[in-house]
Amino acid sequence: MRRRKRLKDLDHLRRDIDRMGRLVARQLETAVDAFDRFDPALADSVIEKDDLIDNLNLRVESRSFEMAAHNDLSDGDYRAARSALKVATNLEHAGDAATHICKHIRIMQRE
């Protein structure tokens, strides 16, 4: 029974990271496109979606910590939860990079 719950939790982590990865990829692509076009409206659309990535990161973080807090994880499950946390953190940083690019587009527009 516990193993089934752990597998379900790991599946949720994988799905959240997959969603996060697809969202970050779109954000980066849109940020580069906004820069190429010098399009502040497109840049704003990236900035507005940054919270989605942040929220997914917090959800992965919370699930990972919750799983790790249970001492009944196998070594493999523990590594998977820890890896999920690291991947989510790196994706969140990449999403922040897209947002920073777009904030600089807005600064450049004002000058």
Torsion, CA 46, CA 52, CA 54, CA 56, rounded to 10: -140
pLDDT in tens, the chain (111 residues): 577 887 888 999 999 999 999 999 999 999 999 999 999 999 999 999 999 999 999 999 999 988 888 767 788 888 888 999 999 999 999 999 999 999 999 999 887
CA atoms within 13 A on the CB side of 28: 13
